Amino acid sequence: MTKGWGNASKSKSPQAWDRRMTVPADAPILTADAMRAAEAACAAAGVSLSELMERAGAAVADVAWRMAAGAPVLILCGPGNNGGDGYVAARLLKARGAKVRVAALAPPATDLARAARAAWDGPVEAFAPDTAPAPLIVDALFGVGLTRPLSDEWSAMLRRFAGRRVLAVDVPSGIESDGLQDWLPPLPAAVTLALGALKPAHLLLPTAPACGRVLLAPIGIDAERRMRTLPPLPPETPTADAHKFSRGMVLVRAGPMKGAAGLSAAAALRAGAGYVVLEDGGPAPLSAIIAEAPAAFRARLDDPRVGAIVVGPGFPAGDALAAAVGEVLDAGKPLVLDAAAIGAALPRLGKGTAAAILTPHEGEFARAFPDLRGSKIERALAAARRAQAVVIYKGADTVIAAPDGRVVAAWPGSPWLATAGTGDVLAGVCGAMLARGGDAFDAAVAAVGWHIARARSIGRGLVADDLVKTAK
Ligand SMILES: NC(=O)C1=CN([C@@H]2O[C@H](COP(=O)(O)OP(=O)(O)OC[C@H]3O[C@@H](n4cnc5c(N)ncnc54)[C@H](OP(=O)(O)O)[C@@H]3O)[C@@H](O)[C@H]2O)[C@@H](O)CC1
Ligand SMILES: Nc1ncnc2c1ncn2[C@@H]1O[C@H](COP(=O)(O)OP(=O)(O)O)[C@@H](O)[C@H]1O
Ligand SMILES: [K+]
């Protein structure tokens, strides 16, 4: 990833988390290249690009109409097709009776944008340092075609509108949509209307907070579903004939910091595992956890009812961890590997080992996969392929990736999770979801969804124990 904040962002501090930062659930995500391929497929299937732009502009006009609520609108148009969407929206808003002004940064440079400009019958101002603002600004300057940071001059012109309500078309201008650069936009948006699909930058740091509330206008693009946003949580009700072992049995291997493994074990129980065994148990938030001495725990590794083993929480790197990881890998059961257990297991993963979920945070990821480059999505995918395991690359912008190319981006989570021990909880929840049987990627997605939903329902004052102490 390119370091430095680009010209646009020198004076910016991170935006406070805001409840209005939302994204649609289970929505497709496309890179700029994939977007262009989808656009070409549409054209091949008989939907013209001008029809796509008309649909995009109509969706922008709809959202702008509601946001403006009768107040004047200023639409800023760039030279490309993002600007084209702006001209279409201007025409449709004017036809609905809205008070619309258009200011252009440069003349239209594509055939589509030229046609959209020609169909707008109102005046076009030059976007300049003295352009008068309006209560609603529609940012249609640059979308997925941005190839370099905005100039200082344009950034300053945009910054003058800070504090106004801003609707960004596709992405706030200045953002590199694939999430490869950390350029921040000079004018963050209250609402971003993603066209056809969400883009990685809507869901990854540092750009996601600047997109505000992200809405999706489908516009008829047939986006493949390999990459998507977090789906709604599946129902958790046990089947009528459930018994404790059919709901999944989870083993949690403890290290020297026993509280961490205790949290994982409690989380596995709370997330629906029917039976949870904690090796050499120390303090644990729930007394329903079965604590066993190391010898008895080792004997358990062969128990055919075991659905998943969790190792890593509270277990620093060293010989003891290497031995513990070796034993659980030999057991051939589905695994959750957290913290230093990831690096310890890596050389053996994918060589006939059972399904595994790895749960690295940023530092652990960098230690285990120091050579990987690209966006967080690309790095998570490359790690998953290398380890032949599902990777939950944690953080405020958690990304879940599978070796077969599936990705779920979980932005926005809950910032109340930024407290010690919540990663131990996530590892235990992964254990519960994995122990149900089924696909490890689906288990990881369900675990992240459970974790975030639980954190949101608790909110202010959350400590890791709260995630597991009560059913609600
Ligand atoms: N795909 C779809 O299905 C649909 C896409 N649609 C819309 O199209 C948008 C993509 O349009 P796009 O490809 O024309 O690119 P766009 O973002 O308008 O910018 C390109 C222009 O900006 C210029 N330029 C770039 N960076 C610059 C900089 N820093 N400073 C100055 N100039 C810079 C660049 O010039 P160049 O780099 O060639 O010098 C070029 O002239 C997409 O986001 C969506 O809104 C919808 O209409 C419907 C369906
Ligand atoms: N700002 C944030 N927004 C959403 N989730 C967060 C944020 N900060 C941390 N998290 C989540 O909290 C958990 C923290 O895990 P980790 O760093 O391993 O903590 P620990 O090792 O203390 O248990 C992860 O699931 C991470 O995704
Ligand atoms: K834009």
Instruction: Examine residue 403 and say whether the peptide bond preceding it is cis (omega within 30 degrees of 0).
Output: no
What letter does residue 328 receive in the DSSP assignment?
A: H
Atom of ligand 2 nearest to the CA of 425: 23
Name the closest ligand to CA 33. 1
Listed in sequence order, the residues at least 6 apart from 326 whose beta carbon sits closer than 8 Å to its beta carbon are: none
CB 212 less than 6 A from any atom of ligand 1: no
Q: What is the pLDDT of residue 4?
A: 28
**The complex's ipTM?**
0.96
Name the closest ligand to CA 82. 1
CA nearest neighbour of 172 among 62, 78, 57, 35: 78
Question: What whole-number distance in Å separates Cα of residue 385 and Cα of residue 398?
Answer: 18
Average pLDDT of every residue of the chain: 94
Q: What is the pLDDT of residue 13?
A: 54
CB 448 less than 6 A from any atom of ligand 2: no
Name the closest ligand to CA 183. 1
Give domain limits for the chain: 7-227, 249-469
Pocket test for ligand 2, best of 18, 422, 466 (most atoms within 8 A of CB): 422
What letter does residue 268 receive in the DSSP assignment?
A: H
- Taking CA atoms only, the protein residue closest to ligand 1 atom 31 is 150
List, for residues 104-122, the tens digit of each pLDDT value: 999 999 999 999 999 999 9
Q: Is the pTM of this model over 0.90?
A: yes
CB 467 less than 6 A from any atom of ligand 1: no
Q: What spacing in Å lies between the alpha carbon of 223 and ligand 2's midpoint? A: 30
CB 440 less than 6 A from any atom of ligand 1: no
Q: What is the pLDDT of residue 213?
A: 97
CB 463 less than 6 A from any atom of ligand 2: no
Question: Which comes out higher in pLDDT, residue 182 or 7?
Answer: 182
Q: What is the pLDDT of residue 251?
A: 98
pLDDT band for 11, please (50, 70, 90 cuts): very low
Binding-site residues for K(+), in ranges, read 82, 139, 173
CB 376 less than 6 A from any atom of ligand 2: no
List, for residues 25-74, the tens digit of each pLDDT value: 999 999 999 999 998 999 899 999 999 999 999 999 999 999 999 999 99
Name the closest ligand to CA 456. 2
- The gap from C-alpha 162 to its chain's centroid, in whole angstroms, comes to 26
- Taking CA atoms only, the protein residue closest to ligand 1 atom 26 is 146
Is 70 exceeded by the pLDDT of residue 9? no
CB 426 less than 6 A from any atom of ligand 2: yes
Domain covering 249-469: architecture? 3-Layer(aba) Sandwich (3.40)
List, for residues 256-313, the tens digit of each pLDDT value: 999 999 999 999 999 999 999 999 877 788 999 999 999 999 999 999 999 999 999 9
CB 85 less than 6 A from any atom of ligand 1: yes
Q: What spacing in Å lies between the alpha carbon of 99 and ligand 2's midpoint? A: 46
- Average pLDDT for 118-141: 98
CB 424 less than 6 A from any atom of ligand 2: yes
Helix (H, G, I), strand (E, B) or coil at 272: coil
Q: What is the pLDDT of residue 10?
A: 38
pLDDT band for 337, please (50, 70, 90 cuts): very high
Q: What spacing in Å lies between the alpha carbon of 80 and ligand 1's midpoint? A: 4
Q: What spacing in Å lies between the alpha carbon of 170 and ligand 3's midpoint? A: 6
Question: What whole-number distance in Å separates Cα of residue 340 and Cα of residue 273?
Answer: 24
- Taking CA atoms only, the protein residue closest to ligand 1 atom 48 is 53
- Taking CA atoms only, the protein residue closest to ligand 2 atom 18 is 423
Name the closest ligand to CA 419. 2
CA nearest neighbour of 100 among 113, 84, 89: 89
Can you list the positions of beta strands (E) in 94-212?
100-104, 124-126, 136-140, 165-169, 191-195
Binding-site residues, in ranges, read 81-85, 139, 143-149, 170, 173
Q: What spacing in Å lies between the alpha carbon of 322 and ligand 2's midpoint? A: 25
What letter does residue 132 receive in the DSSP assignment?
A: -
- Taking CA atoms only, the protein residue closest to ligand 2 atom 13 is 423
List, for residues 367-383, the tens digit of each pLDDT value: 999 999 999 999 999 99
Question: What whole-number distance in Å separates Cα of residue 85 and Cα of residue 88?
Answer: 5
Atom of ligand 1 nearest to the CA of 147: 26
Q: Name the fold adopted by 7-227.
A: Rossmann fold (3.40.50)
Is 90 exceeded by the pLDDT of residue 15? no
Which residue is associated with the tokens 């597991």?
Answer: 468
The torsion region of residue 437 among left (phi > 0), alpha (psi -120 to 50) and beta comes to left
Same topology, domains 7-227 and 249-469? Answer is no
Listed in sequence order, the residues at least 6 apart from 161 whose beta carbon sits closer than 8 Å to its beta carbon are: 133, 137, 187
Pocket test for ligand 2, best of 357, 359, 417 (most atoms within 8 A of CB): 417
Q: What spacing in Å lies between the alpha carbon of 410 and ligand 1's midpoint? A: 27
